[in-house]
Amino acid sequence: MRRYVIKRLAQAVGVLWAAYTVSFLVLNWLPGDPVTAMASAGMDSGDVDPARLAALRQEYGFDKPAPVQYAEHLGRAVRGDFGDSVSTGRPVTSTLAGALPQTLQLTGAALLLAVVLGGGLAVPATYTSRRWLRQLLLSLPPLGVSVPTFWVGLLLVETFSFRLHWLPAFGNDGFTGLVLPALTLAVPTGAQIAQVLAKSLLTALGQAYVETARAKGAGRWRVHLRHALRNASLPALTVVGLLVGQLIAGSVVVETVFSRDGLGRVTAAAVTAQDIPLVQGVVVFGALIFVTTNLVIDLVYPLLDPRIVVTSDRKAALA
Amino acid sequence: MTALSDVRTSRRAALTALVTTSVLLTACGSGGGDSGSGAGQPRSGSTLTFAVGSDAGCVDPQQVASNETVYAVRQIVDSLTDQDPRTGRIVPWLAKSWDVSSDATTFTFHLRPGVTFSDGSKLTAQVVKDNFDAVPKLGALGTLAEGYLSGVKSTTVVDPLTVKVTFGQPNAQFLQATSTHSLGIEASASVKRTPQQRCSDGVIGSGPFVSKQYVQNQSITLAKRTGYAWGSSRWSKKGEAYLDRLVFRVVPEAGVRAGSLQSGQVDAISSVGRANEAALEGGQVTLLCRANPGVVFGLGVNNSRPLLKDVKVRQAILAAVDRKQIADTVFPTGTQPATSVLAHTTPDYTDLSSDLAFDAAKAKSLLEAAGWKAGSDGIRAKDGKKLSLTISWFPNAATNQPALELVQQQLKAVGIDVVLKQGQVSQFATTLQGGDFDLVWGNVTRSDPDILRTSFSTRLANFYRLPATSLDTALSGQAATTDTAKREQLVEEAQKLIVQNAYNVPVVELQTQLAVSKKVHSLDFDSGSRIQLHDTWIG
């Protein structure tokens, strides 16, 4: 078990390094640089003294050859220092730390809602014996996955804020401000959970142990929830791990539509301004959250299914 | 009735000042007087909530360039002077008077006594000197302020309330520059801090509002400065502001901004696009708009390119563009086609609409005369070479692409092939500096005609690669004179030379458009088409 954890940790570090390196390459390959972007911040073609630009590039170290910049930045990043944002001058780590709680709140609430929505749809859809109801319920997830988040957000704002005046249209203030953005973000996520869970529930219900349980006289509900759902939730859990990444990405759109502060807004602003230190900070940080979540989920598997034993081998063997 | 006739007189004065263009009626008002109906008596109190589209990430007026954040930070600081948005005249604010040397190199300001900053410290000549001395060290975000003070030799304290600024070269624009938010005066305590600290924590000013809270990407909250008694000479209310609090909320999505205004969650919004106008019409909302002063949106011409060295080709492009069609189809209602290289809200603007009239026949005959004959595909050619040009553009405004697609069609109609080349916003400056472009789409906002010198003098950066001509003499001349009549005449000459030689192809004025709830009164534009909220009240 310990060897397994160590190995997984090493993999996680590898993923972080790759995220850092790829983002560095992409950002350096782009034409232009953050200093020029900043100098033209007024959106006007005013004159900028080239000597001043050169001095600024030197100050931020953008004048050095790419490999040197890479080595220097990586060295500092390992120690948790991603430098200062070019557009605001604030340290990248404090910018991210300031935005993180808002995004955690949003994605946490969205994930919770998504699990409730997904389970709430998959369980009755597979339980009901009415064909039309099953068809109806099972046709909702593909719809939820395919409508754009942006559109869902605007629709919810239009209805619940502008027309009904129930909830605020923007801001990070309290619980009321969290409802609509979390719901928006939960729609595509919940739909995917529902799809996977419904499919694995149907598979599980055809398994022999379900027959056995029924033969022993277990009621339909009991078979469905205690026996089938428990096994069927494993693939859904794996999906949840992947969806965490999607939730963070989705926060870019949702935080913009609902004018919330958070990692998504920071990301959007950093990319627009070509703020290399901040973008790199966001990429590595996002990768960190993703890697950690998936690591935790891998370690949770044995608790859900006693048949899974983690070994130092690549595969998780069935005992 | 007296009040009414007063309004009329001032309206007439405004019309005279803006020459003929203001006769064109627009769908939205330019603020001024009363924007709402059934005004009643102005009253103090209330909070104004204003939704803006973005946050510059900085709340130091000397370092902010984006209008969306200037709206808030402008209220925190006072400037030495103010500029009347109708006449362009410079009027007293923190300086009760000033003297400018006849060669426009020395500016002496006599400060108003009794002004204090919100930390209790006094405004003195030394504080102004400290501010101006610190400007060159502001760094990358301070390019506007640095530009205004470029070439400064020294700032000296003559006596506790007199400060003298000396430049190495004539610099007539400096007087107008002292009216901008970029040269707003901050308390010594703020000036001593690093530019980064000032950006993130805000600054202490002497303005009608005091910074209370700044939450990045979320909001800027200001409160009324009690005891404020040194407002600009052009404001109608003396003493403190009417409003108790100002809350600027950052709402990036245009549709959400419009809906929030309609549903009463905010009192005013910025950056209203053409798409949102319909949603706002008919409600309890007034649209306010004003053209940004400065160089209008248009095609910056690289005058050193072989095809564009020929004045006939440039003039043909000038005549082939149907400015009215572009303004009416792409831009917010009320946007005016360019009638000079300067917007009509710029001081010393000259109406050159006859030189900028759409005339496809003239464009064609100019091209014929220059030897460009129509080919079978409709595109003209000379010596086997096609008349094909590239327009470089950057996505810094949603209107850029549709406007340029229209320009492309219009030029094609007279036989000029146009390729649109999109770049990244961050490449704008690099493209201009490098000179690898035929035509480039852009504008520059500045409420002083000296922007023509910055943009078109061959003695400065000369991004548009103009040849040295008598235009340089006119541009340098206007920068070196303090005689307003003479300056106006030189600026007029410069505009004519630029337009008639088609060194630039002016297309459309950039219009700042706000939407304001009808219960908000006297929300007025300043000379830079930004807002001043001292006189604003809710009732």
DSSP A159: I
What's the rounded mean pLDDT across residues B84-95?
A: 94
Distance in Å, alpha carbon of B67 to nearest chain A alpha carbon: 8
**Cβ proximity of B77 and B212 under 8 Å:** no
Total number of residues shown for chain A:
319
Binary contact (B65, A41; C-beta < 8 A): yes
C-beta atoms of B143 and A48 within 8 A: yes
| Beta carbons of A40 and B429 less than 8 Å apart | yes
Higher pLDDT, B61 or A5: B61
Among A24-28, B37-41, B86-90, B93-97, which is the least confidently predicted range? B37-41
For A91, name the nearest residue in chain B, comparing CA atoms only.
Answer: B196
pLDDT (mean) for B443-472: 90
Task: Report the pLDDT value the prediction gives residue A139, as an integer from 0 to 100.
Answer: 87
Distances (CA, A) of B386 to B368, B414, B505: 14, 13, 21
- For residue B430, the chain A residues in CB contact (below 8 A) are 31-32, 36
* Binary contact (A170, B265; C-beta < 8 A): yes
What is the band of B217 on the pLDDT scale with cuts at 50, 70, 90? confident
Query: B194 and B303: one domain?
Result: no
Q: Tens digit of pLDDT for each residue in A51-98?
A: 667 777 777 777 788 888 888 888 888 888 888 887 777 788 888 888
- CB under 8 Å to B528, separation ≥6 — which residues? B83, B180, B181, B292, B293, B445, B447
Best of B430, B440, B464 to disrupt the A interface by mutation (most A CBs within 10 Å)? B430
Of B256, B423, B444, the CB nearest to A44: B444
pLDDT in tens, B340-391: 999 999 999 999 999 999 999 999 999 999 999 998 888 999 998 999 999 9
Select, from the ranges A274-278, B204-208, B271-275, the one with the highest average predicted confidence (pLDDT).
Answer: B204-208
**CA of A153, closest CA in chain B: separation in Å?**
10
**Structure confidence at residue B39 (pLDDT):** 60
- At residue B147, the pLDDT reads 83
Which chain A residue shows the shortest CA-CA distance from B264? A162
Residue B229 is predicted with a pLDDT of 95
pLDDT at B120 over 50: yes
Q: B391, B426, B439: which to substitute to probe chain A, counting the most A Cβ within 10 Å?
A: B426
Same domain, residue pair B499 and B533: no
Task: Compare CB distances from B66 to A35, A42, A84 and report the shortest one's residue.
Answer: A42
Strand partners, B164: B108, B156
Q: Is A132 exposed, middle or buried (0-12, 13-18, 19+ CB in 10 A)?
A: exposed
In this predicted structure, what is the pLDDT of residue A201? 86
Distance CA B235, CA B252 (A): 31
Going by C-beta distance under 8 Å and a sequence separation of 6 or more, which residues neighbour residue B400? B393, B394, B441
Counting beta carbons within 10 angstroms of the beta carbon of residue B257, is it exposed (0 to 12), middle (13 to 18) or buried (19 or more)?
buried
Which candidate, B4, B526, B76, B65, places its Cα nearest to that of B288?
B526
Q: Same structural domain for residues B347 and B226?
A: no
Asked if residue B334 and residue B265 are part of one domain, the reply reads: no
Q: What is the mean pLDDT of chain B?
A: 88
pLDDT band at B278 (very low <50, low <70, confident <90, very high): confident
User: Can you give the CATH number for the domain in which B59 is found?
Assistant: 3.40.190.10
A154 closest CB neighbour out of B255, B430, B442: B255
| ipTM reported for the complex surpasses 0.85 | no
Continuous H helices in B310-371: 311-320, 323-330, 360-369
pLDDT of residue B398: 80
Please state, in angstroms and rounded to a whole number, the distance separating the CA atoms of residues B80 and B128.
9
Q: Quote the distance between the C-alpha of residue A246 and its chain's center.
A: 4
Tell whether B403 and B452 lie within a shared domain. Answer: yes
- Distance of alpha carbon B240 from alpha carbon B533, whole angstroms: 11
Residues of B in contact with A176 (CB under 8 A): none
Tokens of B296: 């209008």
Is residue B442 within 8 Å of residue B397, measured between CB atoms? no
CB-CB: which of A48, A157, A273 is closest to B429?
A48
- Does A257 contact B253 at a Cβ distance shorter than 8 Å? yes
CA distance B262 to chain A (A): 8
Overall domain count for chain B: 2
Same domain, B253 and B315: no
Pairing of strands B162-167, B152-159: antiparallel
Q: Which chain B residues contact residue A26 at CB under 8 A?
A: none
Angle (nearest 5°) at CA B391 between B387 and B395:
160
Secondary structure (3-state) at B78: strand
Residue of A50, A162, A273 with shortest CB distance to B262: A162
Chain B residues with CB-CB distance to A31 below 8 A: 423-424, 427, 430
Question: Domain check: are B163 and B207 in the same one?
Answer: yes
**Running DSSP on this structure, what letter comes out for residue A148?**
-
Shortest CB distance from A172 goes to which of B195, B218, B253? B218
Q: Which residues contact B374 (CB under 8 A, 6 or more apart)?
A: B380, B415
Residue B131 has pLDDT above 60, yes or no: yes
Q: In this structure, which long-range contacts are made by residues B491-494, counting pairs with CB atoms below 8 Å and at least 24 apart in sequence?
A: B491/B348, B491/B350, B491/B449, B491/B452, B492/B348, B492/B350, B494/B449, B494/B452, B494/B456
Q: Which residues of A touch B428 (CB under 8 A)?
A: 36, 40, 45
Residue B33: pLDDT above 60?
no
Q: Do B349 and B450 sit in the same domain of this protein?
A: yes
> What is the pLDDT averaged over residues B202-213?
95
Mutate to test the interface with B, among A161, A170, A180, A256 (most CBs of B within 10 A): A170
Contact between A41 and B66 using a beta-carbon 8 Å cutoff: yes
Mean pLDDT of B308-326: 95
**Alpha carbon distance B119, B203 (integer Å):** 10
Which of B188, B187, B216, B185 lies closest to B201, judged by CA? B216
CA angle B30, B36, B41 (to 5 degrees): 120
In chain A, residues with a C-beta closer than 8 Å to the C-beta of B221 are: none
Residue in chain A closest to B139 (alpha carbons) equals A56
Residue of A32, A169, A259 with shortest CB distance to B252: A259
Q: In the prediction, which pLDDT does A48 show?
A: 57
Quote the minimal CA–CA distance from A277 to chain B in Å.
15
Say which residue, B132 or B196, is predicted with more confidence: B132
- For residue A264, the chain B residue with the least C-alpha distance is B217
| Beta carbons of B243 and B537 less than 8 angstroms apart | yes
**Largest Cα–Cα separation, chain B:** 76
A98 vs B147: CB contact, 8 Å cut-off?
no
CA angle B508, B63, A72 (to 5 degrees): 110
Q: B155 near B165, Cβ under 8 Å?
A: yes
Given pLDDT bands bounded at 50, 70 and 90, which one contains residue B2? very low
Between the CA of residue A160 and those of A168, A169, A261, B167, B250, what are the distances in Å? 8, 8, 21, 59, 20
**Dihedral, A8, A11, A12, A18 alpha carbons, nearest 10:** -170
Same domain, B307 and B199: no
Q: Which domain holds residue B152?
A: 2-290+512-538
For residue A258, the Cα-to-chain-centroid distance in whole angstroms is 17
Q: What is the pLDDT along chain A (319 residues), one digit of tens a residue?
A: 678 888 888 888 898 999 989 988 888 777 666 676 666 554 444 455 666 677 777 777 777 888 888 888 888 888 888 888 877 777 888 888 888 888 989 999 999 999 999 988 888 888 887 888 888 888 888 888 888 888 999 999 989 988 888 888 887 777 888 999 999 999 999 999 998 888 888 888 877 787 787 788 777 777 777 778 877 888 888 888 888 888 888 898 999 888 888 888 888 888 877 788 888 899 888 888 888 888 888 887 777 777 776 664 544 444 3
| Identity of the residue in A32, A35, A266 whose CB atom sits nearest the CB atom of B140 | A35
Q: Given this model, what pLDDT does residue B8 score?
A: 40
Residue A165: its chain B contacts at CB < 8 A? 263
Structure tokens at B212: 């209370």
CB contact under 8 A, B429 and A43: no
State the smallest CA–CA distance between residue B487 and chain A in angstroms. 22
- Contact between A45 and B443 using a beta-carbon 8 Å cutoff: yes
Give the pLDDT confidence score for residue A314 in this predicted structure: 46
Q: Of B253, B463, B466, which to mutate for an interface test with A (greatest number of A Cβ within 10 Å)?
A: B253
CB–CB of B424 and A45 under 8 A? no
Sign, CA torsion A154/A156/A159/A160: negative
B256/A46 CB distance under 8 A? no
Identify the pLDDT of residue B302.
95
One domain for residues B497 and B529: no
Do B185 and B148 share a domain, yes or no? yes
The whole-model pTM stands at: 0.82
Tell me which of B411 and A122 has the higher pLDDT.
B411
Q: Say if the Cβ atoms of B259 and A274 lie within 8 Å.
A: no
Q: State the smallest CA–CA distance between residue B255 and chain A in angstroms.
A: 8
Is B278 in the same domain as B299? no
Give the count of Cβ contacts less than 8 A between chain A and B.
157
Asked if the Cβ–Cβ distance from B66 to A98 is below 8 Å, we say no
Q: Average pLDDT, stretch B209-237? A: 93
Residues ≥6 apart with Cβ < 8 Å to A149? A184, A185, A187, A188, A250, A253, A254
User: What's the mean pLDDT in B70-89?
Assistant: 94
Give CA angle at A229 (A227, A230), nearest 5°. 70
Task: Verify whether the Cβ–Cβ distance B140 to A36 is below 8 Å.
Answer: no
CATH number, position B456: 3.10.105.10
CB neighbourhood size of A70 (10 A):
16
pLDDT at B212 over 50: yes
Banded pLDDT at B16 (limits 50, 70, 90)? very low
Parallel, antiparallel or unpaired: strands B47-52 and B268-269: parallel
B-chain residues within 8 Å CB-CB of A33?
A: 426
Q: How far apart are CA B391 and CA A177, in angstroms?
A: 44
